[in-house]
Amino acid sequence: MTPELAVDLLKQLVERIFIVASPLLLTAMVTGLIVSLIQTVTSLQEQTLSFVPKALTVLGVLLVILPWALQIVMDYTIGVIGLMGRINR
């Protein structure tokens, strides 16, 4: 395996990680912002209150995007396995 191929494979892997993780991270960020605004308006400063809505929304988004995320991961894995036969030692 050449260093260029290894770097290219790692670059593709990191890109796919960002693509799959970004909807979950954005959901958690937006939910946290909304809960923080509600806490500020109501003067309710309970730290554990923000965890449950974030966990539920992230779980909901995960269930919705799971087929899409699995397809991205499977495409990458199939590509890497296909390259194994052509890699010289």
Could you read off the pLDDT tens digit of each residue along the chain, which spans 89 residues? 788 888 999 999 999 999 999 999 999 999 999 998 998 898 887 777 888 999 999 999 999 999 999 999 999 999 999 888 777 66
Report the chain's terminal Cα–Cα distance, integer Å: 6
Angle at CA 63, nearest 5°, toward 61 and 64?
65
**In contact, 62 and 24? CB cutoff 8 Å:** yes
Single pTM value for the model: 0.79
pLDDT computed for residue 89 by the predictor: 60
Looking at residue 62, what is its pLDDT?
96
Of 18, 21, 27, give the one whose Cα is nearest residue 54.
27
